[in-house]
């Protein structure tokens, strides 16, 4: 009897891995500061930018920013984001996209909610920042992050299309 109960308990825990997971604190926020560098090129076009969070399983948890303007035909150029989210959810793009931005420093925030409005769970995630320019380059930065009750600041190395990214998490 004891072995049957233990096996059943273990099986239920393995089948429902998030049953005992806890939500991020209601005050938790993630701030992403980054630079779109000014590039000296002949045909400069404002870049498309996608910033999103994925869980350990590679599922999109939240689209934080999507700067594409209203030209949806070029969304496929934001390759990683398009393959993960865009091509399957084209009906939602209008609700999350906004205008492209000129070179400069920017800050975006994530309030710890998922795209469906629920609180995200504490755990391991990856923050993606993808920047692509028409007639230009493409860069993607993948930054693993762990969201718990512990605050942190992480800084990434600059790339050609995106400068330094500073990620600051505050749990309260």
Domain boundaries along the sequence of the chain: 21-170
Cα 60 to Cα 95: distance, rounded to the nearest angstrom: 16
The pLDDT confidence band at residue 90, using thresholds 50, 70 and 90, is: confident
CA distances from 153 to 12, 31, 136, 165, 169 (A): 36, 9, 30, 10, 6
| pTM recorded for the entire structure | 0.85
pLDDT in the model for residue 9: 46
Cα angle, residue 159 at apex, residues 130 and 108 outer, rounded to 5°: 45
Strands 152-155 and 60-67, how do they pair?
A: unpaired
Q: Is residue 130 classed exposed, middle or buried when 0-12, 13-18 and 19+ CB atoms within 10 A define those classes?
A: buried
The pLDDT confidence band at residue 15, using thresholds 50, 70 and 90, is: very low
Strands 60-67 and 97-98, how do they pair?
A: parallel
Cα 2 to Cα 25: distance, rounded to the nearest angstrom: 37
Question: Is pLDDT of 26 > 70?
Answer: yes
What are the φ/ψ torsions at residue 10 (nearest 5 degrees)?
Answer: -60, -45
97 sits in which H/E element:
strand 97-98
Q: What share of the chain has pLDDT > 70, as a percent? A: 84
Cα 98 to Cα 101: distance, rounded to the nearest angstrom: 9
Right CATH number for 21-170 from 2.40.50.140, 3.40.50.1820, 2.60.40.4070, 3.20.20.10?
A: 2.60.40.4070
pLDDT in the model for residue 82: 76
The pLDDT confidence band at residue 139, using thresholds 50, 70 and 90, is: very high
Cα 127 to Cα 62: distance, rounded to the nearest angstrom: 10
- Choice between 149 and 20, residue whose per-residue pLDDT is larger: 149
- HSE, CB side, 13 Å, CA atoms: give it for residue 164: 5
């Amino acid at each position: 009897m004891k072995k049957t109960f233990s096996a059943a308990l273990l099986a239920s825990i393995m089948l429902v891995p998030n049953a005992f997971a806890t939500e991020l604190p209601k005050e938790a926020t993630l701030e992403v500061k980054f630079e779109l560098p000014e590039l000296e090129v002949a045909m400069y076009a404002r870049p498309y930018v996608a910033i999103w969070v994925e869980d350990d399983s590679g599922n999109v948890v939240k689209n934080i920013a999507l700067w594409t303007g209203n030209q949806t035909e070029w969304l496929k150029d934001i390759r990683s984001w398009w393959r993960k989210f865009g091509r399957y959810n084209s009906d939602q793009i209008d609700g999350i996209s906004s205008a492209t931005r000129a070179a400069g420093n920017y800050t975006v925030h994530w309030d710890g909610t998922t795209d469906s409005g629920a609180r995200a769970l504490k755990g391991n995630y990856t923050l993606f920042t993808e920047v692509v320019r028409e007639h230009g380059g493409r860069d993607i930065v993948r930054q693993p992050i762990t969201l718990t009750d512990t605050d942190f600041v992480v800084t990434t190395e600059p790339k050609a299309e995106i400068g330094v990214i500073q990620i600051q998490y505050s749990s309260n």
